[in-house]
Each structure stands twice: as structure tokens, then as C-alpha cells.
Structure 1
Amino acid sequence: MIRSLLLLFFLVELALDAAGQSAGAAARVEHLPAFPSRFVKARQIDVWLPEGYEQGKTYPVLYMQDGQNVFDPKTSSYGVAWEADSILARLSQAGQTRPCIVVGIWNTDLRFREYAPAQPYYALPAAFRDALAQERPGTPLSDEFLRFVVQELKPYIDRHYRTRPGRADTFVAGSSMGGLISLYAVLEYPRVFGGAACLSTHWPLSLQQNRPDFTNAMLTYMDRKLPRRHRPRLYFDYGTTTLDARYEPHQLRVDSLMRAHGYDATHWLTRKYEGAAHNEAAWKRRFAVPATFLLAPKPARRKPGQ
């Protein structure tokens, strides 16, 4: 009788332990409101931790622009979110991506200035810069924004979470102007970021004019900055309706430059999505493609003699 009771007690304890571990290992989003900075305005940061996070593993990190649109439709600017957490959980369970941490960086009212790549901007013809200033007043703050991400936010994330901090496990992603700043991040900090996903990249920079001026400046900048060794993984895409209808001629020129620099399918992917518009719903539908491109499981290392 006593043995039976002890066995029953032992089994109950095991069940309770398993339940506790399961609850503790559930995926969740942690909110860091008003995250301070010496370089830019304070803003909210959302950190998604995947299922099983408490089990002691370490994880690659994906930093995503426009963080309010990344996880929750209730906080999204237009009522639709990418739902990157659900998509990444599904991909990870299917073995298509590595489990990762996602850091959603909310934007501010200075979004255009923080996301406009400064070096190509200052290489623009003066007349085009003047026209942009009428449309969107103020000069770029993108260098300051990237200092915030690299010098303040990333060190905090690496100290407080179980990350793999090296460039091979650190990625950045965004759409529209967020695509531009994500590309700029990789090229300005090639030792920090190992890849970028640039969805519906807003090459014209202007919303009113579809001119080649900024693309010209970006191509000159990229020609100088694209690494030939330790190449990042770069993903681009575009749709064919609404604002995305402007992008194909610009993207084709970028693609030509990528080929000229010897980038192949291992390090570069561009996709065209017929009928896709310039909005969160479209980016949500195809987010699995860049996620898989950046976060695909690494091939197993061969043992000596194999």
C-alpha cells in the first residue's frame, strides 16, 4: 500500500514538473517601453522569445523595423500585423528555420528621417534634396538610429537574453523605408549583421516622384560597400500594385549590381510577387520566404574522415 502511494506521489510530482516546464517554455512577447537612447528618441521595444526558451539554448536574433506592426494587430498602424511570431513558430516546428529571438523596434514620428540612408541621401543632387525637404522636412537621422541599434539596443539584448551575438546569427528586416534602413545597417555594420530582408524596398525615397536619383545614389554607395568576403545574405522583393508598382525598374538595376559583385543564390535572393500591394497583409503573406532565407538550419558539420 505504502509503495503504491509513494509511486502515485512520484508520478504526480513528475506530472506537475512537466506541466511547469511546459508553461515556462511557452513562447511570449516581452515589452520594453520607452527604451532610452543617447542618439534618438526613446521608443518601445518588443522581444519575442520562442517556445522552449527556458531550456537553456542560445538563439539567433532578428531585429525588425516598425516593431508595432510585427506581432499584434492591436498595435499595428493599419490594423494588420505581420504576425512574425506565429509564422516563425510554424517554420521552426517544421524544421525550415532555426528557433530565434525577434526584436521589434517601434518607429517614431521621425520614421522617414531615421530610415533614410544618410550617405546616399547626401550624395543626391541638391535640387532633388530640396524637393524631398519640401515633401518630408528634415535631414536623415539614420546614422544615429543605427548607433542606437548597434551600441545600445543590441548590447542590452545580448546581456539580458540568451542570444548568439555574432554576425552569422544576427539579422535585420523591414519593409518599404524599413527595407532601406535594413540594407543600410548591413552595409554600414558588416561585422554586426549577417543578413537583411528588404521587403518592398522604397528605392525612389520620395512618395510623390518616381525618379531614379536615389537609386543612382544607392547603387554608387552599394558598389563601394558590398562586401566581397564574408558576404551578407540579402533578400529583396516587390509587388506589382499600389506603391510597389513603381519598384521593378529600380530593383532590376540593384539585381544587376548584385550579379556584377558575384553574389549568387547562397547570399542573394530577389522575388517578384504579382498582384501584391504595399501593405502589412502582403508582407505577412510572404514573410516566410525571407525568414527561411535568413534563418535556414545550418548544415551539419562532417566529422573527420566522412
Structure 2
Amino acid sequence: MNTLFIKQNFQHRWLIMFLLFVLINNVVIAQALPKVACGSVKRVENFSSRYVMPRNVDVWLPEGYTKSKKYAVLYMHDGQMLFDSTTTWNHQEWGADEAMCKLIASNQIKNCIVVAIWNTTQRHPEYFPQKPFYSMTNADQQRMLDIGKEKGTPLMGKGPVSDNYLKFLVLELKPYIDSHFSTRTDRQNTFIAGSSMGGLISMYAICEYPDVFGGAACLSTHWTGIFTNQNNPIPSAFLHYLDAHLPSPKNHKIYFDYGSKTLDSLYKPYQLQADGIMKAKGYTPKNWISLEFPGEDHSEKSWRKRLDIPLLFLLKK
């Protein structure tokens, strides 16, 4: 079979799947709280913002949570996918509660709460790093903006709004969390994590707000930005941005990983380039991990298998 046909078919199928993900996964209606393995979940419904669309925010509190203790905070994207597969569009979950339960119970990590930020119909524009996008030529920007237009669902919307998404996190959500829960508010106890586009926005967050976030976990980082690496200027823009804005290794931790199947099969060459940047900037295994997981695909079930690794890396006592 023609190789080009196979690649185009692969890209077309993934575009359809991602557009379906956006349509199915982003209905912010009344929904039961997720059932968790331990601890509890508090929901802030339709958290309003001056910067982005309102969305639900679920806050996972560990067993025995008390205001007499102070807790680190892990902000995680795609919040409706983290805890309970019976409530998700694809019946998969990260198992974030199970991983946190195990690591806290075994006294391997510091006390921590998880802030699960739901995505919306603007997921791609909100998670796509904005400054790298606008560093590309006008022609390349327009090519990206045209993706999905013929189906009436442009992937990028009117363009990335990730700067506003980060303002929402830093200027609105974090102050709310810190005032309503017993948290450690400093950089060394504030972390951010996500996968795919969520991996990109986590990388972008720690670069844009190095005084706020002390660590970032970027699983299956979607370096391609779209669904192909053919004639794609996006990875180069991301890598140039990372090279120019990577925060100091003296007080930051960064985790990257990727699999080898489905969308993850596109990432290795770009992750290797990112690894070169990390080394050149002085990062070592003490404050940076980059792992390959052969045979793993681009899904919650894969991220669930290895979530304990970045959690332990970021939150270790």
C-alpha cells in the first residue's frame, strides 16, 4: 500500500478522533462527582473567569485532609479525565487518585492536593503555546488556522489563547485555591501536569511563570501541535521557544515522556531535540527526567500506567 496514503489516512483518523473528543468531552453540565479510591473531591462548578470560558474545577483532597496541615498543590489539565472512568467519554482515566493514595500512604511524597481543571470546547486554542505560534510566518499561522475549517470546527479556533488560559490559572484559580484550601503557596510546592496538549501547556506554564511553578510533568508532549510531522513548522517553533525561555535548573523540575504508538509515534525526534536543550541549559537527572515507553500509545490507560513516576519525581519528600 502507498506510504503517503497510509500517513494521510493516519492523520485523517486522528483529526476526526480529536474533533470528536472536543465535541463529546466538553459538555460542562451537571455531572456527579467522580468516585475516588481515597480522599474526597470538592467541585467548583462553572468557575468564572475574565480571561477564558467558565469550567468546572474538581479539587481532590487526600485522606485525612485537615486545615491544621499545609499541602502542596498539583494543577492538572483535562480534569474530567483524571479520576473516574465511568464519567469519561472514552471510559478511561488517569487514575490520579489511586496514584496519589499509594504514594502518600507509603510516605514517599509530600502531602498534596490535586486541582483538576476541566477542559472546554476551546481546549486546543487554550493549550497551544501562544508565543511560539505567533513566532511562525503569517502563511504558516494561516495554514494552522485553516485546519478543520472545512468541517466547520477549526482546530485552532481563531488562534491560540493560552496566554489568557495561564492568566486564569495564575491570577484567578491559584488565589482561589490558596484562599479556600490549606496550601503551601510558594513555587517549590506548586506544580503543573498534563498530557498531549496538556503536556505542551504545562511546559509553557513553567516557562512563562517560573516564579509560580516549581515543577512540570509533560506526558506524551504533543510537539507536533497538529496531527502530522510532514511540512510542519510547529515543532521548530516550540523548540526555539523552549531554548529561549527554559527556567533555571537551580529551582525547577521538569519531566517529559512519550510512547511509540498512535500519536506518540510522532514525538521521539522532537523530544530528543528538547532533551539536548535541557542538557545544554544545565539540567541533570536531579531535576529533569525524559523517558521513552516503547509499546505505549496516546491514551489515558497508558498515562495511568506511569503516572506514579512523575508524581514521585515532582513531589518526593
TM-score normalised according to structure 2 size: 0.83
Give the number of equivalent residue pairs: 272
In structure 2, what residue type is equivalent to 1:30?
K
Q: Is the 8 A contact 2:188 2:251 kept in 1?
A: no
Q: C-alpha offsets along residues 233-281 of structure 1, whole Å, 9 cap, x if unaligned?
A: 0000000001100000010000000011110011110000010000000
SS at match of 2:124: helix
| Unaligned runs of at least 5 residues, structure 1 | 1-25, 298-306
Q: Distance in 1 between matches of 2:158 and 2:220?
A: 24
* Deviating more after overlay: 140-149 vs 52-61: 52-61
- Is residue 29 of structure 1 aligned with residue 29 of structure 2? no
Q: Is the 8 A contact 2:196 2:219 kept in 1?
A: yes
Instruction: Report what 2:138 is aligned to.
Output: 126
Q: Distance in 1 between matches of 2:263 and 2:240?
A: 24
Q: Distance in 2 between matches of 1:155 and 1:163?
A: 10
Cα shift at 1:228: 3.1
Task: Please give the residue correspondences for 1:144-159 in structure 2 after superposition, counting only pairs within 5 Å.
Answer: 144-159=164-179
SS at match of 1:74: helix
Task: Please give the residue correspondences for 1:267-286 in structure 2 after superposition, counting only pairs within 5 Å.
Answer: 267-286=287-306
* Deviating more after overlay: 177-186 vs 92-101: 92-101
SS at match of 2:66: helix
Instruction: Report what 2:11 is aligned to.
Output: none
Instruction: Report what 2:189 is aligned to.
Output: 169
Task: Please give the residue correspondences for 1:254-265 in structure 2 after superposition, counting only pairs within 5 Å.
Answer: 254-265=274-285
In structure 2, what residue type is equivalent to 1:263?
Y
| Unaligned runs of at least 5 residues, structure 2 | 1-37, 148-154
- Is residue 97 of structure 1 aligned with residue 97 of structure 2? no
- Is residue 214 of structure 1 aligned with residue 224 of structure 2? no
Q: Is the 8 A contact 2:228 2:266 kept in 1?
A: no
Q: C-alpha offsets along residues 19-68 of structure 1, whole Å, 9 cap, x if unaligned?
A: xxxxxxx7100111101101000000000000111261110000000000
Instruction: Report what 1:252 is aligned to.
Output: 272
Instruction: Report what 1:228 is aligned to.
Output: 248
Cα shift at 1:295: 0.4
Task: Please give the residue correspondences for 1:13-28 in structure 2 after superposition, counting only pairs within 5 Å.
Answer: 27-28=39-40
**Identity rate, percent:** 46
Q: Distance in 2 between matches of 1:282 and 1:229?
A: 28
Cα shift at 1:210: 4.3
Q: 1:192 aligns with which of 199, 212, 219?
A: 212
Cα shift at 1:229: 5.9
Cα shift at 1:93: 1.1
Q: Is the 8 A contact 1:43 1:108 kept in 2?
A: yes
Q: Distance in 2 between matches of 1:55 and 1:151?
A: 23
Cα shift at 1:190: 0.4
Q: Is the 8 A contact 1:88 1:99 kept in 2?
A: no
- Is residue 106 of structure 1 aligned with residue 118 of structure 2? yes
Query: Between Structure 1 and Structure 2, whose CA radius of gyration is higher?
Result: 1
Superposition CA RMSD, Å:
1.3
Q: Distance in 1 between matches of 2:228 and 2:261?
A: 16
> CA 1:71/1:119 → structure 2, altered by over 3 Å: closer, same or farther?
same
In structure 2, what residue type is equivalent to 1:73?
S
In structure 2, what residue type is equivalent to 1:269?
I
Q: Is the 8 A contact 1:194 1:233 kept in 2?
A: yes
Cα shift at 1:209: 4.3
* Deviating more after overlay: 33-42 vs 52-61: 52-61
Instruction: Report what 1:60 is aligned to.
Output: 72
Q: Distance in 2 between matches of 1:251 and 1:208?
A: 15
Instruction: Report what 1:15 is aligned to.
Output: none
SS at match of 1:254: helix
Q: Distance in 2 between matches of 1:263 and 1:208?
A: 29
* Deviating more after overlay: 170-179 vs 71-80: 71-80
Q: Distance in 2 between matches of 1:228 and 1:83?
A: 31
> CA 1:55/1:116 → structure 2, altered by over 3 Å: closer, same or farther?
closer
